[in-house]
Structure 1
């Protein structure tokens, strides 16, 4: 069921958005910019060259891709679009070998670095401490960083990893948030590496999933959503890195597949988030600096699991905008 702009049932949704966005602005101190994640898990999507042209036509200056797709990297040459490039999950163990990491960086980063503006290398996406790949994340990060540093590009290209919000427990009140004992042994050495090298932690934030949590009564999701971000900072402070910056590497709202997943709700979420990022109004901790945020995602992807997962795109595969967003 859609929440119309005049419906009383939209009030909790609006409260969720206000609380979440207020906390994002109160706690994140990276340079403000809006990017969009470019996933390719569909069989009806435009060519990579057309996608890059669509970014440029809509003044989207930052992109995230989830593997070093050569056609995308070729299309990005000379575009001035800043890029987050992921190391895919199935490559993490391989890149614990420094020589193989050097080869990967040479082939996928250095070969393009004169013409493509790499911003971050995300070594793994939402790897959990119990995953078999977890032990490979930090060594792979170190090896990728070393290869970039050997080319004297460590000041331009930062190496990080992207986590979700589940590594933090006790999120209510947010100040009680802390990394779980299982997560601490995994994430604290990573945090230390990031702090040493001036790199941010990349975090995927999805208030939508808290909002639809069937366990929680209607009055709770707004507070739960706010905790998603606030508690991350409490966790970082307890981990000894209170000044570590966070980049929101994914945040989105689906337009179909659930009563709360409507074009109206998704459009409200994206417009409000973009407005805060582009406002550059500053934060109490870092006046004059807004958040750096990547919307998820550029397109609906029809090869994902049926349901909401297929409907996170801000554009349709035909390159039509769903929400009339202004990115710049």
Structure 2
């Protein structure tokens, strides 16, 4: 056991050599709707073993931001839907920035704030009306504090904001949302912030398994589909959805707004009526997606713009409401073991997926900190004795 642990530490040390090539294009959603997740310092350890340097949170958890200080991990943090009305007032907005961003940003890189999640596809018209004013007020507060060049402001949309998504050249936003989207797009253009979408080809397959090809949604070999409007060929649904969003944005006269996939993934388990939810399909979807992203290729309509995605999610979350699939999107179980074998795909891209050491999660923060310090010390000792080239 001691020898295995020393090897694990050695691998972690050498994995740092890959950081510069793996950060761009791939991030992970770190959801926390669960009662059995490891502590943030343990998650630091896990993400270091993965060389994952981009993380998206759904809040601004101070314990997480503190744990990741000086880790070189870049964060998207979130303002929950419940805060939107309050955030339209400049005073609470600036107070929020002073409490949740300023104390951490010098040591933990915060690059973006998402104001709300999937607001426009809900049924709360008051939330819809508050969305843009809240985004504008948060941005103004950042500007007042000298942070607007450092931190973007945006919001995350469901792919359901599209009224038409295929063929991609006919991509268009829902008619009933145009009054909101026009001004949001103007905001993105003015501030240079990305347009975020949560896109899950799984849902399209689950709803129409007889009409949607499983190979097409899983990035597996398939005949593909040709867009009659552009003659561009699509061999997977996710890239078609991204281009449909670009086309919908272009219809409003904007060609300067980049689209980022803030959530995508596949559940490893589901209810009997959730067709396609399985560990095999989840493995294929995420493996093939990672391989595509690492090739730095763009979509057919944007071949020179690498696709930028955040995988959903890091852990299975046992308290999420809804069907079984909602609790089974994680790459990892809370104990740090892989839900399915995606290890080959991760390691082939330079990632080294390793389980968390067996530790008592109820241990004091002091003990966790002592463990992490020891881990770093051992890594430094190994680094002083070896070089990556010696492994070749």
TM-score, normalisation: structure 2: 0.71
Cα distance, 1:171 vs structure 2: 2.2
Contact kept, 8 Å, 1:276 with 1:290, in 2: the verdict is: no
Q: How does 1:243-254 map to 2 (within 5 A)?
A: 243-254=256-267
Q: CA RMSD in A?
A: 2.2
Distance 1:260 1:282 in 2: 27
Cα distance, 1:172 vs structure 2: 2.7
Q: What is aligned with 2:206? A: 212
Deviation by residue 1:65-117 (Cα, 9 ceiling, x = unmatched): 11111111111211110011011011111100001000001100111110111
Q: How does 1:46-195 map to 2 (within 5 A)?
A: 46-128=38-120, 130-131=123-124, 132-195=126-189
Deviates more, 1:302-311 or 1:273-282: 273-282
Contact kept, 8 Å, 1:92 with 1:140, in 2: the verdict is: yes
Contact kept, 8 Å, 1:32 with 1:290, in 2: the verdict is: no
Q: What is aligned with 1:225? A: 237
Out of 256, 269, 289, the residue aligned to residue 256 of structure 1 is: 269
Q: What is aligned with 1:297? A: 313
Distance 1:284 1:66 in 2: 31
Structure 1: state its 5+ residue gaps: 1-30
Tell me, what secondary structure is at the counterpart of 2:207? coil
Deviation by residue 1:201-237 (Cα, 9 ceiling, x = unmatched): 1111100000111486355975693543232111101
Contact kept, 8 Å, 1:32 with 1:291, in 2: the verdict is: no
Contact kept, 8 Å, 1:94 with 1:100, in 2: the verdict is: yes
Does residue 310 (structure 1) correspond to residue 322 (structure 2)? The answer is no
Out of 289, 308, 314, the residue aligned to residue 273 of structure 1 is: 289
* Cα separation, partners in 2 of 1:246 and 1:146, compared to 1, 3 Å: same
Deviation by residue 1:41-69 (Cα, 9 ceiling, x = unmatched): 11111011111221112101110111111
Distance 1:171 1:289 in 2: 20
Tell me, what secondary structure is at the counterpart of 1:133? helix
* Cα separation, partners in 2 of 1:219 and 1:281, compared to 1, 3 Å: closer
* Cα separation, partners in 2 of 1:186 and 1:318, compared to 1, 3 Å: same
Tell me, what secondary structure is at the counterpart of 1:85? strand
Distance 2:243 2:93 in 1: 34
Q: What is aligned with 1:239? A: 252
TM-score, normalisation: structure 1: 0.85
Moved over 6 A (4+): none
